[in-house]
Amino acid sequence: MPVWFAKSRAISHHLNRKVMGFMGILHQKFWTSSCSRHPSSLSSIFIPAGIHEDHSTPHVFRFNSSLITTRFSLQRFKSTKAASQLEQLYSTDDDDHDTSQALDFPGGKVTYTPEMRFLSESNGKRVPCYRVLDDNGEIIIGSDYEQLSEEVAVKIYSNMVSLQMMDTIFYEAQRQGRISFYLTSTGEEAINIASAAALSADDIILPQYREPGILLWRGFTIQEFANQCFGNKDDYGKGRQMPIHYGSKKHNFVTISSPIATQLPQAVGIAYSLKMDKKDSCVVTYTGDGGTSEGDFHAALNFAAVTEAPVVFICRNNGWAISTHISEQFRSDGIVVRGPAYGIRSIRVDGNDALAVYSAIHAAREMAISKQRPVLVEALSYRVGHHSTSDDSTKYRPVDEIDYWKKERNPVNRFRKWVERNVWWSEEKESELRSSIKKQLLQVIQVAEKTEKPPLKYLFSDVYDIPPPNLCEQEKQLRETIYAHPQDYPSDVPL
- Catalytic residue positions, numbered: 172, 258, 387-388
For residue 327, the Cα-to-chain-centroid distance in whole angstroms is 22
Residue 338 has, within 13 A of its CA and on its CB side, a CA count of: 20
Residue type, 328: E
What does the alpha-carbon distance between residue 256 and residue 270 come to, in Å, rounded to a whole number?
16
Q: How far is CA 97 from the centre of its chain?
A: 42
* DSSP codes, 100-138: TSEEEETTEEEE--SS--PPPS--SSPPP-B-SB-TTSP
Q: Which of 314, 313, 310 is nearest to 274 (CA)?
A: 310
Return left, alpha or beta for 108; rule: phi > 0 is left, psi -120 to 50 is alpha, else beta: left
One-letter amino acid of 221: T
Burial class (CB in 10 A: 0-12, 13-18, 19+), 365: buried
84: Cβ contacts below 8 Å, ≥ 6 apart: 109
What are the helix (H) ranges across 189-344?
189-197, 212-218, 222-230, 263-276, 295-307, 338-341
Between CA 312 and CA 198 the distance in angstroms is 12
CA distance 438 to 64: 77
Check: CB of residue 348 under 8 Å from CB of residue 37: no
Strands 375-380, 345-350: pairing kind: parallel
C-beta separation of 74 from 23 below 8 A:
yes
CB 352 within 8 A of CB 318: no
d(CA 323, CA 292): 15
Strand 375-380 vs strand 66-70: parallel, antiparallel, or unpaired? unpaired
Nearest to 52, CA basis, from 4, 88, 1, 22: 88
Please choose, from the candidates 216, 215, 132, 128, the residue with its C-alpha nearest in 3D space to the C-alpha of residue 411.
Answer: 132
CA distance 20 to 74: 11
Strands in 79-160 per DSSP E = 102-105, 108-111
